[in-house]
């Protein structure tokens, strides 16, 4: 299938491009910038430089590139960026998703896989949540914009027959991650010999997911069984922020861990279940957290020319 990957130059999107290629699909990137991770790709990855709110440009990309399905990942994905510029986040995330769906409707592309987030569960009362959990109005604007995207997918299916798959991503980490994310920032600080700062006491747990596993989940989300379904893509491993700091310290060397302020609108310690993705898509997160962090550190060291963990005898 020819798949338009919006946000295909980003952290997760670039891995989606790789996994699509590996699965025999033909990815086409739609992004504000070319992928820094595919500069030397052979053959080159077709890329359309465009703004996600530009419906006319999206329509042109869909028809000129003969697209079968859209994997929609373009977004303001960093909650700190959302906090700093909420209006842009609302335009890009919510209206951008509406523009994608509307361009699809006009051109006649009738299948979308939408990148959502397990942050949609942030405001639920339940300690254990799955795709059937009813969602109260979210506190964080990032979550509101992603939930709006989910709702628009549902509405376009009902009104115009566009088939959707909503994938609620767990917290991704791995090669190409944004520097501000918790694993990269801990690794960078540790490699620089600086203290690791926890948000709150660090006891909040996360279900992280290794980015290549997540990207495989997007490919699996193209299956017919996934039409008009919602899936959590999470691992079944709970990791506290403090454990991450300790793991990074173990791999990189002795580092100091200090307690900082808690983050507003945080997901907290909720257990998000991923059983549906396993049962229906056959998808599970294959990479353990320890293995994933080790691969990330090796990748990071390779980027900066340092010896990897294996060579360093870690
Ligand atoms: N990283 C996370 O923690 C996380 C967690 C859950 C869900 N998600 C979702 O996964 C998706 C990808 O996130 P990511 O971490 O790879 O983010 P990223 O910032 O690395 O990638 C986003 C990509 O979208 C592009 N983009 C941004 N604004 C655009 C615009 N106006 N027009 C066209 N392209 C634009 C960027 O250039 C970038 O390449 C997002 O939809 C995000 O909400 C991310």
pLDDT in tens, 227-267: 999 999 999 888 888 899 989 888 888 788 888 877 655 55
Token pair 């006491």 is at which residue? Answer: 201
Secondary structure (3-state) at 155: helix
Indicate the range of 32-41, 85-94, 243-252 predicted with least confidence: 243-252
Domains of the chain and CATH, by start: 2-171+210-233 (3.40.50.720)
On the question of pLDDT at 307 being above 80, the answer is no
At residue 182, the pLDDT reads 84
The Å distance, Cα 182 to ligand 1 centre, comes to: 16
Q: Are 33 and 11 in contact (CB under 8 A)?
A: no
Q: Is 9 in the pocket of ligand 1 (CB under 6 A)?
A: yes
At residue 200, the pLDDT reads 79
On the question of pLDDT at 156 being above 90, the answer is yes
Q: What is the pTM of this model?
A: 0.93
Q: Which atom of ligand 1 is nearest to the CA of 96?
A: 31
Strands 205-206 and 239-240: antiparallel
Q: How far apart are CA 257 and CA 216, in angstroms?
A: 34
Query: What mean pLDDT is predicted for residues 60-77?
Result: 98
DSSP 26: E
Q: Is 231 designated active site?
A: no
Q: Is 33 in the pocket of ligand 1 (CB under 6 A)?
A: yes
Would you give the end-to-end CA distance of the chain in angstroms?
42
At residue 207, the pLDDT reads 80
Q: Is 138 in the pocket of ligand 1 (CB under 6 A)?
A: no
Query: What mean pLDDT is predicted for residues 99-120?
Result: 98
Mutate to test the pocket of ligand 1, among 11, 92, 166, 178 (most ligand atoms within 8 A of CB): 11
Cis preceding-peptide flag for 141 (omega within 30 of 0)? no
Catalytic-role residue among 142, 152, 210, 251: 142
Mean of pLDDT over the chain: 92
Q: Which atom of ligand 1 is nearest to the CA of 35?
A: 39
């Amino acid at each position: 299938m020819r798949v338009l990957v919006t946000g295909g130059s980003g952290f997760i999107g670039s891995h989606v491009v790789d996994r699509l290629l590996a699965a025999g699909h033909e990815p086409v990137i739609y992004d504000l910038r070319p992928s820094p991770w595919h500069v030397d790709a052979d053959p080159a990855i077709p890329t359309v430089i465009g703004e996600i709110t530009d419906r006319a440009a999206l329509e042109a990309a869909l028809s000129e590139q003969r697209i079968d399905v859209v994997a929609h990942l373009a977004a303001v994905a960093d909650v700190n960026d959302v906090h700093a510029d909420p209006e842009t986040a609302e335009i890009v995330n919510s209206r951008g998703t509406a523009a994608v769906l509307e361009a699809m409707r006009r051109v006649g592309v009738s299948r979308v896989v939408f990148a959502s987030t397990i942050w949609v569960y942030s405001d639920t009362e339940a300690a254990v949540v799955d795709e059937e959990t009813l969602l109260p109005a979210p506190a964080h604007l990032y979550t509101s914009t992603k939930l709006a995207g989910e709702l628009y997918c549902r509405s376009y299916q009902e009104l115009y027959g566009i088939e959707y798959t909503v994938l609620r991503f767990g917290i991704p980490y791995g090669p190409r991650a944004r520097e501000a994310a918790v694993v990269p920032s801990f690794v960078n600080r540790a490699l620089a010999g600086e203290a690791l700062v926890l948000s709150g006491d660090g006891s909040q747990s996360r279900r992280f997911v290794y980015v290549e596993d997540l990207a495989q989940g997007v490919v699996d989300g193209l299956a017919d069984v996934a039409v008009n379904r919602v899936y959590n893509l999470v691992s079944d491993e709970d990791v506290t922020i403090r454990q991450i700091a300790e793991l990074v310290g173990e791999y990189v060397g002795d580092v100091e861990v200090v307690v900082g302020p808690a983050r507003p609108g945080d997901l907290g310690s909720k257990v998000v279940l991923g059983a549906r993705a396993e049962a229906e898509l056959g998808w599970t997160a294959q990479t353990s957290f320890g293995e994933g962090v080790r691969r990330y550190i090796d990748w990071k060291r390779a980027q900066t020319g340092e010896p990897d963990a294996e060579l360093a005898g870690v």
